[in-house]
Chains A and B, each alone.
Chain A
Amino acid sequence: MSIKQISVFLENRPGALYAMTGVLAQNQIDMRAFSLAETSDFGIARIIVDDVYKTTTVLKDAGYVHNVTPVLGVAIPDVPGGLNKVLQALTDAQVNVEYMYAFLGGKDTGHAYMIFRVADNAAAAAALAKRGIQVVEQEEMEQL
């Protein structure tokens, strides 16, 4: 019920991100979603990819510090109030969102996709299911 997000430690300096995307490009890795959090001296690139095992292997070989975190992927109808409905379900269930980011759903143009980082994925997924909101599985994500 969760999706594997890879978080990568990067220094905040010119070319650091480019070097990492270079590694992914060389290895034909397709990113599904991407978000960057930063301070003045370092940043964390959070990515969702088509092949988690291959990506972590090539990142490790290239010397990147990284980890894999289970996050929640949600497909939201691309209409006004779509996100609000999802957040309401989470709020009612007292689920705190540590961070979130959006991305486009590839060939699927009817939905916007969101990634949610929460403390308890199972509880959050159950709260969403109660309101008829389905989470996206890893396999679906890989095929988008």
Chain B
Amino acid sequence: MERYYQPEIETASREQIKAWQDERLVKQVRHVWDNVPYYRKKMEEKGLTPDDIRSSDDLHKLPFITKADLREAYPYGLVAKPLKECVRIQSTSGTTGKRVVAFYTQHDIDLWEDCCARAIMAAGGTDEDVCQVSYGYGLFTGGPGLNGGSHKVGCLTIPTSSGNTERQIMFIKDLSATILCCTPSYAAYIGETMKEMGLTPDQIPLKAGIFGAEAWSEEMRQDIQNTLGIKAYDIYGLTELSGPGVSFECSAQTGMHINEDHFIAEIIDPDTGEVLPEGSKGELVFTSITKEAFPLLRYRTRDICMLTREKCSCGRTHVKMCKPMGRSDDMLIIRGVNVFPSQIETVLLNHGYPANYQIIVDRVKSTDTLDVQVEMTPEMFTDNMGEIAKRQKELVDGLRSMLGLAAKVTLVAPKTIVRSEGKAVRVIDKRKI
């Protein structure tokens, strides 16, 4: 039976959701106009006043806000509440440049934790569960967000944070953790370590995992599900909007429901800024309509994605987004071809290689080179040189047909690619452009 944290919201009619969005957007626009000069200036430049925004149908009139705006306004330029009413600061992991600092009132924290609680219950969590939060705690939103959500569901929460993998496994076993929350790359590493310790999936009490904060492939999901003997659920979020829980997967595992009572999602053409019809692939844009301290109107996520309002078997009515193909910040342009690390990951896993890989991009005599380093495993090793070379060539061919360009594959010794306890560093770009 499907469980909901807030059933009246999560299964509300589309008309009801639209009504919430209309009312909250109008209020939010007024709020930023009154309290954030940066927004007021941007709106004035477009000849807009709050009176021009009468419902969510007028959303498209508003200017976008980008990461560049956030950096320009750093640190207080977008804060919409007096600091004495703010209770928390969180910050981005800084994997794609300068950190962004976000502010929260107690009310903001409360709603954020509600979103995470919805995600935990969608993964089957109840107050009977023991939930181990192995996301980093601190400035990173992963730990605090899921920690709060786990409390709201009433799970017995183990705040291990990331790192010390053997201790993580000890707690999972000794305290019978049933739900694991961390980045997918760390889940894979925990699985790998368990295997090395001789633990089989049936000896691990875990039944579900909530994994997010980085792009991961469907193949990696299968891999994690098999190694840990669990169902692996995706969760999506951005520090700029609150943190994890902007959207989350349900039992259907076919996309993530966006919490539309808090966020309005749009898909735009990343080049023209035009809003695209439902089902189109484009850049995901979010407007936070309930945030008090750090509201963002039409924030461009750089994530390439699709939305669908098809009826979901779980009973939730909120729009679903597909797994982002990758952040356009993660996207590499190699010899003019767009390459997402997640595409490379898909090919590796399909060919029987592990998800321990690193992509090295360089420029030799004005030509981009792509070197995919992947670890040799006992399963892929044989004493026959020809056989290894054959598998290596099959991998090169697989990458060529997926990416449309030639890549070099280098087989490296096990454990030479650094394991990540948070977000994995998949790409080393040595090009000096």
Interface string of A9-31 (1 = CB under 8 A from B): 11100001000000000000000
Q: Which interface residue of B381, B382, B388 has the most chain A CB atoms within 10 A?
A: B381
- Bound: A117/B383 CA distance, A: 10
Q: Is B389 an interface residue (CB 8 A)?
A: yes
B364 CB, nearest partner CB in chain A, Å: 15
Q: Is B252 an interface residue (CB 8 A)?
A: no
Would you call A7 and B383 a contact (CB within 8 A)?
Answer: yes
Would you call B410 and A67 a contact (CB within 8 A)?
Answer: no
**16 other contacts beyond A64-B414, A65-B376, A65-B413, with CB at 8 A cut-off?**
A7-B383, A9-B411, A9-B413, A11-B413, A39-B385, A41-B410, A42-B376, A42-B388, A42-B410, A42-B412, A44-B385, A64-B413, A66-B381, A69-B383, A98-B384, A99-B385
Would you call A11 and B412 a contact (CB within 8 A)?
Answer: yes
* 9 A/B residue pairs, CB under 8 Å, sorted by A: A7-B382, A16-B413, A42-B410, A42-B411, A44-B385, A63-B415, A65-B377, A67-B381, A98-B386
CB-based closest 10 A-B pairs: A7-B383, A69-B383, A65-B381, A9-B376, A37-B385, A65-B376, A41-B410, A42-B411, A11-B413, A63-B415
Return chain A residues, CB-CB under 8 Å to B413: 9-11, 16, 63-65
B414 CB, nearest partner CB in chain A, Å: 6
Q: Which residues of A contact B (CB under 8 A)?
A: 5, 7, 9-11, 16, 37, 39, 41-42, 44, 46, 63-67, 69, 98-99, 117
Q: Is B378 an interface residue (CB 8 A)?
A: yes
Query: Number of B residues whose C-beta is below 8 Å from A?
Result: 18
Would you call A65 and B378 a contact (CB within 8 A)?
Answer: yes
- State the main secondary structure of chain A at its contact with B: strand
Return chain B residues, CB-CB under 8 Å to A7: 381-383
Return chain B residues, CB-CB under 8 Å to A39: 385, 389
Return chain B residues, CB-CB under 8 Å to A37: 385
- State the main secondary structure of chain B at its contact with A: loop
- Bound: A70/B317 CA distance, A: 61
- Bound: A44/B382 CA distance, A: 9
- Bound: A86/B414 CA distance, A: 39
- Bound: A7/B376 CA distance, A: 13
- Bound: A11/B413 CA distance, A: 6
Name the interface residues of B333-377: CB closer than 8 Å to any CB of A: 376-377
Q: Which interface residue of B378, B385, B415 has the most chain A CB atoms within 10 A?
A: B385
Return chain B residues, CB-CB under 8 Å to A41: 410-411
- Bound: A7/B385 CA distance, A: 11
Would you call B414 and A63 a contact (CB within 8 A)?
Answer: yes
Would you call A9 and B385 a contact (CB within 8 A)?
Answer: no
B150 CB, nearest partner CB in chain A, Å: 35
B380 CB, nearest partner CB in chain A, Å: 8
Would you call B383 and A67 a contact (CB within 8 A)?
Answer: yes
A137 CB, nearest partner CB in chain B, Å: 20
- Bound: A39/B387 CA distance, A: 13
Return chain A residues, CB-CB under 8 Å to B410: 41-42
Return chain B residues, CB-CB under 8 Å to A42: 376, 388, 410-412
Which A-chain residue is minimally distant from B373 (CB atoms)?
A41
- Bound: A63/B382 CA distance, A: 16
A15 CB, nearest partner CB in chain B, Å: 12
B354 CB, nearest partner CB in chain A, Å: 11
